[in-house]
Amino acid sequence: MSLKKMASVIFHRTVLVAVLLVVQVGLLAAMVMRFSDYFVQFYLFCVVISVLAVLHVINSKGDPGYKIAWLVPILLVPVFGGLVYLLCGGNRLSPRVQRKMEGMDHRLMEVLDQDRKAEALAPFGRDAVNQSRYLEAYAHCPLYTNTYTKYYPLGDDAFQPMLEELRKAEKYIFLEYFIIAPGKFWDSVLEILEEKVRQGVDVRVIYDDVGSLFTLPKNFDKELEAKGIPCRAFNRFVPVLSVRLNNRDHRKFCIVDGHTAFTGGINLADEYINQVVHYGHWKDSAILLKGEGAWSMTVMFLTMWEYINSVTEDYAAYRPTALPPEAEKGRGRWVQPYADSPLDGEPVGETVYLNLITKAKDYVYIMTPYLIISDSVNTALCNAAKSGVDVRILTPHIPDKKTVFELTRAHYGPLLEAGVRIFEYTPGFLHAKSFAVDDLYATVGSINLDYRSMFLHFEDGVWLCGDPTVLDVKRDFLATQTISQEITLEEVHSQSWLRRLFRSILRVFAPLM
């Protein structure tokens, strides 16, 4: 290895952050040793902290599995368990952050509440109205018509259409992604962004600092600023043990002029369009909105921009005055883009999924890269299958994270016993996040079936009702199933006792992974 390459590795910010975190742990250990003469008093102090932490966990709102995952280490290691929970547990907000978060909610209500129209779904039945009304009341995200939608079964399929829509931008381009990585995808996008900036188009970029930790340099935002592109890194990764590190911006938005938007599972990196291969063929998905529904996603972006920058935007200046011709094709179609914040106490993403599962009458088809589900989702899936609903789940066969993959497989047993059918995508890694239900409902977005997406990340999705695109999501599931391997209960039970034990332990700590 050359000295230059060695230096780049040694001084990479991830290495520096890791060293600083180790130093913090070392200092804590040194303090314990330094005050060993007062060990009894220190131990009692830690026990008191742990008892208070246990009481807080038990009485807090939240998923029971998340509570158990914290109670076990706190009770097993009372000396440090309570202290670690104080540093890293829950989603506690400082007064300043709480005010900013309330500001985001207030802005969504202020700008979007006037668009509410859930009752328009009455011809589809009360179940449809109630699902839509929930999103309007608790996510402040209204229902829209006059919106053309197109579903892309692969990131490869969405790549060129995204570039084409970016080239059409006349007023603004807003990008918000968990991961950005140099390569064909990002370089193609960046070339268009630079051209649009020269044309006077307002271009802005948000990326998650942890999501892009290994793909972008620390000062990437400054590099884009130098090109005339305002850019912000969400929640900088700093070398301090803190609960704030858990909250990531996992959303995926590509927005053009307020009337055109893409979202789904794909990030701006080459593996998402199979230009590089890490875990076999990468199966992802995306959805395009052209029309009224894209405005809702524009507001979501602007509220995040305000949150990061502590500024106030003039939303009226960004609302499109005309819709693209394709929007006319969406007349009578119903779409509802929605966002989920981990800091408002409302599990929107999980509730959308639970509503789809519990209201299903014929089938529920699910694609997810991770199956690390809460007790509520597990019970809903099992009850649906036991009631005769055709419940099928597609997961990857080639994992991107081996331990997480073992945890996904740890959830197979109870589901299979209840009659749920599970398939693994044998060509590679499946990263799509979608539901198709009863030829009537679907959702496509960034939300995984795991604790991080449900409770810790900023997420987004698009809920569909009575839209022909629902059938496209269904067809994609069935086509993907044909090249996937069905998992049987016999296979699960045939695993060695050691692996079953390992998976059982993983399930206890699933909410913390």
**348-512 shares the fold of 95-338:** yes
Domain 95-338 class, CATH top level: alpha beta
DSSP 280: B
Angle formed at CA 274 by CA 268 and CA 278, multiple of 5 degrees: 95
Closest by CA position to 45, among listed 70, 79, 73: 79
Q: Where are the domains of the chain?
A: 3-88, 95-338, 348-512
* DSSP secondary structure letter of residue 365: E
Contacts of 456 (CB under 8 A, 6+ apart): 91, 246, 247, 248, 342
Pairing of strands 421-425, 390-396: parallel
Q: In the prediction, which pLDDT does 25 show? A: 58
Which residues lie below 8 Å from residue 417, measured CB to CB, with a gap of 6+? 489
Taking the C-alpha atoms of residue 242 and residue 86, their distance in angstroms, rounded to an integer, is: 9
Predicted local confidence at residue 344, as pLDDT: 80
- The rounded average pLDDT for each run of 10 residues, N- to C-terminus, in the chain (513 residues) is 42 51 60 62 71 71 68 68 63 63 79 89 96 95 96 98 98 98 97 98 96 90 96 80 72 98 97 96 98 96 93 93 90 94 87 97 98 92 98 96 90 96 98 98 96 89 97 98 96 88 77 64
Place of tokens 């040194």: 30
Contact 129, 137 (CB under 8 A): no
d(CA 215, CA 181): 5
> Computed over its alpha carbons, how large is the radius of gyration of the chain?
23
> Pick from 261, 256, 211, 255: which is nearest to 233 by CA?
211
H-state helical runs in 360-423: 375-386, 402-410, 412-418
Residue that is written with structure tokens 């996008």 in the block: 189
Residue type, 503: R
Residue 6: the pLDDT is 43
Architecture category of domain 348-512 in CATH: 2-Layer Sandwich (3.30)
pTM: 0.88
Q: Are 481 and 381 in contact (CB under 8 A)?
A: no
Beta bridge pairs of residue 437 = 364, 441
